[in-house]
Structures are given as C-alpha cells and as structure tokens.
Structure 1
C-alpha cells in the first residue's frame, strides 16, 4: 500500500486570508487522512500552539508521489526521512537555519538579555588591548629616547675590545752611561675562551709548542672550556719566536701582543736596582722608589669586532700611542760594583760567614759608587738580592770610638795628647768593663786609646762630656735617622734619647753598644772625618733623562757641619796610625796612605744576651776607612756578618780589613786616584808598641 508522507515546516508557513478552521474540523480532517492511509505529520510547535487557541498555521500539502513507485514507511521520529544524500544535506542546512531563526528571531528576549554582557566584555577587551598597545608604544619610545644612548653604548661595548699597549720602561744607567737595567722585547700569548672552538685541542696544540707539562696543559684546557671571561693569559713575556709559532697556527680565540720584560744587565747591582713584576711595576729597590719616573704611560688600542672575533674593516678603531718612561742615571759604577761584589763574596766564603755588606762612596759628594750585599741561604748558596746595607741595623762595635772621641775633642774636653790612666778591667757600679786584651793600668794618650781600640780608655774620654752632648753628636753624625736616599724599607737604626739610656748603656754607647746603625749610616758618619768635618748625605741618582733625550740633574746631596776642620784633621791623623800601627794594618794599600777604624761587635743571641766565651758568641766584624788620607776621594765600608767564631779572622781587623785593601786598590786604579806628592808611608818604628798588646 502506498503511503503518502507530508512534511510540514513552520518556515514560511502563512495562514490563508479569511480562512479559519475550528478544532473539530482539523480533527476530522486528521481522522479522514488516517482512514485513507495517509500518515499525519508531526505538528510543529506553531501547530501545537494552534490547538490551544493560537492562530492556526496552514500546512503545506505533501508532494504528490506517482503511482507505481514503492514507498518505505519510516517510524515516526523528529527527523524527516532522507530520500537522497544531496537532499539530506539540504535538509540539514534548513534545520540549522531553523535553529538560528528560533534562537535569534523567534526568541528575541534571550538575545536582548545577552547583548549588554557581550558589550561589556567587549569594552573590557578593547580597553585591555588599547592599554597594552599604549604600554608597548611607551616602552619602545623610552628605550629609543631616554635609555637609547645607554643601550647603544652597551651594544657597542660588547663589540669593542681594548688592548693595553705597554709603555717601554725607562732604562737604568750607571754614571758612565752603561746599562744596568733595561727593557727587552717580549710577547704575551692570550686567549678569549668565548671564541675558542675546541678547548682541549687548542690547549694541546699550545702545550706542544710551549712545552707545557700535562698539569699546565689541563689547567689551560679547563680555563678555556669554562668560558668564564673573554680574556685569559696563556704565557707572558716569552720569546717572540715562540709566540709566532703559536699564532701561526691561527687557532680561533688565541692571540699575542707585545709586552716588554725587565732585564738586569749587571746582576751584582740587583740589591740596589731591585726588580719589577710581570706587569712592569717596580717591587723593590730603585725600580720601586722611582717607579713613576721609569714607568711611562701605557697606550691602548681599541678595535670593533664581529661575533667571530674578527676586526670589522672601517670600524671606529682608536689607538693611543704609549709614552716611554724616563731613564735613570745612577751614581753607581758598574766596574766597581762588580769588583766589590766579587771581593765580598770571596771573603764571606773564606771566613765561613753568614753574609756581608760593603759600600764605596765619593768622600766629597756622597755619590755611592757601589753597594754590595751577600747573604747565605739555607741551602748553602749565596744571594745578593737584598740591600741589607740600607735595611738592617746592628751595633757598630769599636768603629763608634771615632765618634765619641771626636765629640770630646770637638767640645774641647780633651786633645789627642790628653792622657788617661787606663786599667785593663774596671767595674762601673755593678758592671764590669774589660779591654779586648789584658793589660795593667797604663797611661795612654787619646791617640793611643784610638789606635789600640781601648774600650776603657774610650769610656774615660767620653765621660769628659755629658751623655746628652754625646747623643747630640751621634745624631749629627747621622745615627738614629734615615739617610736622604729614601730607599724602600730603609732603617733609621736605633738611638734612644740620653735620658733613656739605662744601666751599662751610659758607658757602652761610647764604644758602640747601646745603639744600632745601618752600614749606609756608618759609612756616611765616618765620611765626616774624610770630608773635613762636614756631613754629606749619600746619593744614588745623578740624573733623569726624559723621552726627548734631555737630561735633568738631581740636586746635590745635602750637607751639614759636624766637626771643625781642625778636629777632623786630628782624627784623620789618628786614624792613619790605626792602619799603620794599630788594629787595621791589614787594610794597607801599597803606595797609598789609608785612614780607618776597625770594629768588632758582639751580636745579640736568641736568648737576648751577647753570649760568652764558654757558651759561644756571634760577631759582626767591620772596617771603615778612606783614601788617600791626605786628600780623601773615596770612603769604603766592609762588614762581615757572623764570621767563624772560632777563627782568628773573626775580628774587624782580620775579617774585613783585607777586603778594604783589595777593593781600595782597585778603586784607586779605576778612578785614577793618585796620592799627593807629599805622601809619607807608615814609619817603620811603631811608636805605640807595648809588649803583648793587640786590639781589634
């Protein structure tokens, strides 16, 4: 049986004009259709509402189906039967359209309620977007205007690399223009770890050429791999040829630049000249004292590079040329310096001493011709790197007798011929004082007291003046104050005010115990006698030479009167007799008159005492003199530190005087010093001879 199916859609359904059907009519019609075998379509919502009195909506008649076409009866459902795929799609579109109409057109109340919420949300979204846009525009403007320069500078700085161009350090010359210290061309290898591609391979390649040990190679590889900085040293101040061998490998991130090294041409002057560190900064001696003069002003080379470390052609590279330092001209004489160092070293070895110092200076000007320092190290070898002549102080011993006797004569308290009855031993309060050799009480003139180096005779002479006066003279001779050299770490020695002298110091200061001096102070003090009673400060620098080659002379040494010329002459004559007939006979120089004084001082032991003949002693043996005695040109000091205490050569007259003789003869030849025509050699007969006597 053929069933006709009608589909009723509310879309577009319109009631006829003037047509109105009652409910009964609609019902009867429906029944009639049912009896006729026609399925009644499901009413739409509009039609349902029509049943309850709503305005009826006309139904669209079902399409006619030709006879003979089989029909498939479908169960009633919400979906219409699908007759074909194309028609199904069409009906789906129609259904979605119907849904839209229902939501938007038929139910306008819900849309009207949602519209304010949507508008509110839209306004918030627009406000946020506008605010964000304003913020971004403001930030960009800020970066381009206010902080623009800073960011541009930071970007440029990231591309710039600055290389320091080390200024050539000034050379140091001796008084004759011979180099003592100079800068030599060297190269320094460096690396930029951020540019190194293969840290391990780079370290291995460099180590092979530089002969690094495995530990150093591994340290380099670790540093390169860490990439903690953009610069690290690989090797500093190496031979240019070795540096070139490395740079020829063209290893990424590895380069080299010039960095001069300091070389001491005359190692014997090392203690005076001092040294520099790898950065060319003076660390000791004159290199440190005159660092600002010698250093010059470093230059720099600034280049702009790309991300691979290559220089950018045409970029704003800046190069500031370094300004070389000034040269220094010293008072030292290289020949005398070398000879003095050799003579002192030889004697220190001969007497088994701990070390020694020696100074040669011009008697008129205070110019130091040579200053030698020897010190034995723990391994038994000897070093000359410390300037102990300026930085270490010790009790002078018998050389101080010259100053206390000169003070008494200059004050008019005594004369060279004043006689004292000198015992071999004497007790002062609770303290016992002895001469170096036993003798009965003897009548000794002052000159004999000096020649024989009598401790008790010197004490008796010095007691003719007050301790305050003696202290004033010692200060005038230069003790207790630094010299004008201003040498780094120079010692001022020790000289307490007279009112603080305690116990035996009131007695022993007269012959060299109770105050301490450096070798530099002692030779300058003895030079007062050589220079006719005038103190002249020691000097080490003659002049400086600027980068234009112009020489600037240093001011002459300061001077001050200490003794009258008459007193100085009297002391000169007595000191000649010390060499001719007294404790300094080993200081004689053939064909030359020499004046001087020996000194043997006990060194303080670790327990704070001077020790004893039974427990053992340590000595400081010295000789200080000048030549030629008639017209002094040079003053020389030689001190031997701790000669063998069991040897006869432990005294100033035996340990130090022979060195004075050797170096004095050399200096006389080197400086072409000739004795005056009126020079008289030592008399053959000893006017001071007494049986069984000898001093030190």
Structure 2
C-alpha cells in the first residue's frame, strides 16, 4: 500500500509536466503559425530591410557642345583609389608611396586611417577620379591594400575656353557653377536603383537585382561659337593683364539674342578642383553677376528717351553751360571740355555730361525712368547662369532731385555687361527687347535634337528711333570719343563710357581723428557698347574693363574693334565699306560720304554638325583646327606647311618668321588667315 501511495504523486506530477509541455508546444506552434501566416509579409519586410540595401546607380552625364558640334564638356571613365585598412601591413611605407605618386598629405592619411578604425570602416578614400597616368602608376605596384572603384571624370578639353559659361562639377558630378549648375536637371539625368544583399556591417555581398535603370543626362548645344569664344577670351585677357583689375565682353546676335561669346578675366580652368569658397565664387560669370555704373554709354538710352517722348531731334541745339552745370547750393557737374551750344547729336559724339543732363531734364523723370525700365534695367535678363544680378535702378519714388541729372549721364544706377548687350540689341534690331539665349538645343539619349524656342520679344521703341540712335552713334566712332573703335571694312555705331570707381576708405583716420570716407579716385569702369554693320547689324558687342587707369576711348574702344571684327568674320558677314573708301574727317555721316552699302539680311549659321543620338566615343574629343607654329621658319617652309594644312596665310616682310596672329595653338575661325611677320 505504501508503494502505491508513494507512486501516485509522481505520476500526477509527470502528467502535469506532460500537459504543461504540450501546452507550451501548442503555444509555440500557435505563435509560429501567427507569425508565419498573419504577419509573414510584415516580418519579411523587416528582415529584408536588415539584409538588403538600395544603392543609387549614377547616370552618365550629358555632353555640352558649341553651336558647331565641338565638345566643350564630356564625361570620361576614371578610377578612384581607397585603402583597405585590414590589408594594410605597414602604413608608413604605404603612405610614403601615396605621397610620392599622388602628392597625398601623409598626416591626412594617418588621420583618415584612425577615423576609419573608430567608425569600424574597412575602407577610406585617398583620391577620387585619378588621372590615367596616376591610375597606371598605382596599379603597377600591385598592392592588395589598394582598392580601385570606377567612376566618371568631367573633362573640359579646351581648358579655360568659356570657363565661366560652362562652370564645373563637384566630386559627385553635380554642377556647382555655370551651365553645369543651371542645367543640372537636364545634364545630370536620373539615377537608377540597385538592390544589394549586405552583411551584418551593411557591406555589399551580392547584387540581387537592378530595380531601375539610370536615365542618362541630355546633351546640350550652346549658342556659343568655340572659335570666336577663344578669340574673345584671348583679347580680354590681353586687355586686362597689367592694365586693369578685370574685364568682361559679350557678343550677341541682336535678332535672336543668341550669345555667340561671353568672356571674363581673370578666368579659371574647370578641370581644376575647387579648394575653397573663394574658388567657388570666382567661377561665377562676372558679365552676369557684377553690376557697375554704365557711365556715358547711358547717354544713348537718354537719347532714346528724348526722341521717343519729346519733339527734340538730332539737330536741336542745346546750351552745354560752357562745361558746367550747377545745382543746389554748391554742387556742380563738369565736362572734360568747355562746350557751349551743341546739337543733340554732337552732345553724344562729344559725350557732354551737361548736354546729357539737359536732355534728361527736357525728357522728364517719369519718361526717362519708364524708358530705362523698358530697356530692362533693374531686372534680370533671364540668361541661364547662376547668380545673375538685377543691377540697380531705384524706383522713381526714391529718386532725389539730383537723380535725374546723374542718371541721365550714367550714374546712380548699375548694370551688368549682359544687360547692356540686351539693351543695345534693341537699337540694332529695330526697337525690340530680346531675351539672351545661351542654350540652343537639347537632345535626350536616343532622341532627336530639340531646338530651344525663339525667345519672346517686345517692342520698346519705334523703329525710326532705333535707326536714328544707330545713325548718331556712328558719329561717335568717326568724330567723337570712339575713333579707336572704327572697324576695317564695316560700318559700326557705339558709345564709350567711363565711370569713376569708388575707392575703399583708408584704414588710418584723418587729421581730426575721424574715420575717412570712401571717395572716387582715378580708376574707372571703362566700357564700349556697339553694333555692326550699321544698317543691318549682325552683332552687338559690349566690353567692360574694371579698374582701368585710362578712359574708355583709349582702352575699351580698341577692344571692341578687335572683337567685333573677329565676330563678323566668324559669321561670314559681307563688308559694307569698300577697302578704298574712307569717310573724310569732319564729314558728318550720311552727308558727303555717299550711301552705305547695305548687305542682304543674313541669318545666323545653322549648326554645322548635329551631335548624334548615340553617346560619343569617350576618348575622341574634337578640338578643332588650330594655328600652327610658324616661328623661326623661312617663307618657303611657311607656304609649304600652310598649303598642307589648308590654312591661308598673309606674309609680311622678309627673312624668318618672328611673330604671327593668331598665336600658335589658337582655334581658327572659318576661313581665318594667319598673318606672319618676317624679320631678317
């Protein structure tokens, strides 16, 4: 009996244990069933998020072309170098190699190595987007701690040519200046999506699938002519070096607003990386971002307001106060010369400040302000470049009594070079305000070339007013301040402008201990604004030289001449002045010199080459025909080489070649002749 009673509790305990175990198993299976059936999709998503990772696939960047199909910016494959710290046995030897081959900072490498250790990363970057030579030198070492990744490198095959127009990209191939920045949406394309299986440290193990293919960026064709742009860049650089602080020039077609060239100096090489905020700011185009007092070029717009709003005409005689205009109690504005009575057209030719003030007074504040607004002053032009300045045109309500006087002669307002080009185009095209155009066409991958629509334009002055302003402005070149702007073989009109620049206040206080004020010194913003040929203008050219020590008639007018002649040659515009014909000094235009020869209207050249739908071969970068180096050669050798290359030459003098224009290596315009000077 004792055994029976002793066994019963053990059996019961065992039964209870079995029942508990069965219940536990049922609970586990129930939980598993719940998780596998009811929460399967949710848990699968969580698991995948821990094991899988989505990466962007960078889209190939579009190519930038000039209007004739020359590549200005193209993306090429490039390797980037990282160091695998787990395979790095002796950092000192490795970093010494990297210093000798890449110029890498060894202290920086040690810092990056330590940071990689702290964050648990195996790799850290040494240099991205190596040159071909750097990559070949490093690969030849065959070091397992070097890991190479294929990326793309943006290449600007012509270096500084049109640099401020093109801009540049950062290490991630995103535009940070110029067209590269403003057209990022088109050029950058759309990245694709890649699904990777990762380990516990979120490192890629296996590619699972491509979720979305990248969409390549569109190609962009600019209105710029690369040959003319290089000539313009070279001319502006020569004008600025050692003479001024900076300079800009814009060449525009007046009917379409197409910008054929737009230069700025100092310049930069977009192939060089940006190393500071100052470098980045220097890549903005000064013709678009820097606004200055226009000086006397403003007098043409005062003239237009006068002709549009009053009964005065070019022959109306104005008294110019013998060179002085007094207002207020003590204030006075002076001319450089003492002029008495002058016709309106002579006021423009002689650039009389007092005469311009009298024209502004007769026009009236409201009419002058309205005219300047119509010409686009105080507003952005719409050119597709970052950081465009509006300039300054104060609202009429903020004008002081003296504002009318100063604005009439080109002060108390500021304009950019591209604003002046746009405004001058209205004189050249018969009275219409156009929007500058820089993007001529776009082409998506595999698509057709799509031309940008012609910019809307609106009439702002009568055609007769535009023609009269052109006629009067021709006299500036023949009888006034712009004689050095006279073109060989072409009629032209234009206006000089010299505005004094405000100098910073001296750091040291004055004799009375008070802080000195900024004052106007003897440095100028020297400008020339013009168009040619006169009766049917094909180009508008505006030149601005900042920090000049001489007047615009001496420094800006000759630059206009050089650029305008290059531009007319590039467009193959026929001469409208025979070589033997010259306008006698002292003869007013339109009187004794006979009728000007007016060419038939000539449209802008179409694209000589339309970029194909297929991506270009990345190593084939057309650079155009360049001037050979004739220095030190005899005439026979120069003739032989020019005949072989099909380049016309003009030979002057005898002996050996000592100089040439354009210089060796310059891009040649269509049909351009190289002038070679020989010396014994």
Q: Which residue of 1 aligns with 2:527?
A: 622
In 2, Cα distance between the equivalents of 1:357 and 1:232?
43
1:277 matches 2:182: no
1:682 matches 2:571: no
Q: Which residue of 2 aligns with 1:637?
A: 542
Matches within 5 A, 1:598-617: 598-606=496-504, 611-612=519-520, 616-617=521-522
Decide which moves more: 220-229 or 464-473: 220-229
- The Cα shift of 1:428 comes to 1.7
1:24-77, CA deviations, whole angstroms, 9 ceiling, x for partnerless residues? xxxxxxxxxxxxxxxxxxxxxxxxxxxxxxxxxxxxxxxxxxxxxxxxxxxxxx
Could you tell me which of 462, 465, 474 is aligned with 1:567? 465
In 2, Cα distance between the equivalents of 1:570 and 1:310?
73
- The Cα shift of 1:227 comes to 5.2
The alpha-carbon distance between structure 1 residues 311 and 501, as it changes in their structure 2 partners (threshold 3 A), is: closer
The alpha-carbon distance between structure 1 residues 145 and 374, as it changes in their structure 2 partners (threshold 3 A), is: same
1:585-614, CA deviations, whole angstroms, 9 ceiling, x for partnerless residues? 1111222222110101122344597725xx
Could you tell me which of 56, 62, 72 is aligned with 1:180? 72
The alpha-carbon distance between structure 1 residues 549 and 445, as it changes in their structure 2 partners (threshold 3 A), is: same
1:481-503, CA deviations, whole angstroms, 9 ceiling, x for partnerless residues? 11132421111111122222014
Matches within 5 A, 1:167-566: 167-190=59-82, 197-200=86-89, 208=97, 211=102, 212-226=104-118, 228-229=120-121, 232-239=124-131, 243=135, 246=139, 249=142, 251=144, 255-266=147-158, 267-304=160-197, 316-318=208-210, 320-351=212-243, 353-375=244-266, 385-423=283-321, 424-430=323-329, 432-439=331-338, 442-566=340-464
- The Cα shift of 1:223 comes to 4.4
| SS, match of residue 97 in structure 2 | helix
The alpha-carbon distance between structure 1 residues 370 and 529, as it changes in their structure 2 partners (threshold 3 A), is: same
Could you tell me which of 492, 515, 532 is aligned with 1:594? 492
- The Cα shift of 1:156 comes to 4.8
In 2, Cα distance between the equivalents of 1:629 and 1:426?
33
Matches within 5 A, 1:15-30: none
Matches within 5 A, 1:95-114: none
1:152-193, CA deviations, whole angstroms, 9 ceiling, x for partnerless residues? 4555555556554322111111111111111111123457x7
The alpha-carbon distance between structure 1 residues 240 and 165, as it changes in their structure 2 partners (threshold 3 A), is: farther
In 2, Cα distance between the equivalents of 1:601 and 1:507?
15
- The Cα shift of 1:685 comes to 2.6
| SS, match of residue 603 in structure 1 | strand
Larger Rg computed on CA atoms: 1
- The Cα shift of 1:334 comes to 0.8
| SS, match of residue 399 in structure 1 | helix
1:484-535, CA deviations, whole angstroms, 9 ceiling, x for partnerless residues? 3242111111112222201421221111112111111111112211112222
The alpha-carbon distance between structure 1 residues 467 and 200, as it changes in their structure 2 partners (threshold 3 A), is: farther
1:645-665, CA deviations, whole angstroms, 9 ceiling, x for partnerless residues? xxxxx2111121111112222
CA RMSD of aligned residues (A): 3.6
Q: Segments of 4+ in structure 1 off by > 6 A?
A: 118-128, 305-310
Question: What is the TM-score when the length of structure 1 is the normalising length?
Answer: 0.72
The alpha-carbon distance between structure 1 residues 241 and 150, as it changes in their structure 2 partners (threshold 3 A), is: farther
Q: Which residue of 1 aligns with 2:572?
A: 672
Q: Tell me, yes or no, if the aligned pair for 1:610 and 1:617 is still in contact at 8 Å.
A: no
- The Cα shift of 1:248 comes to 9.0
The alpha-carbon distance between structure 1 residues 668 and 318, as it changes in their structure 2 partners (threshold 3 A), is: closer
- The Cα shift of 1:537 comes to 1.9
Q: Tell me, yes or no, if the aligned pair for 1:340 and 1:372 is still in contact at 8 Å.
A: yes
In 1, Cα distance between the equivalents of 2:93 and 2:41?
43
Which structure's relative contact order is higher, taking Cα pairs within 8 Å and 6+ residues apart? 2
The alpha-carbon distance between structure 1 residues 199 and 370, as it changes in their structure 2 partners (threshold 3 A), is: same
- The Cα shift of 1:214 comes to 2.3
In 2, Cα distance between the equivalents of 1:519 and 1:485?
12
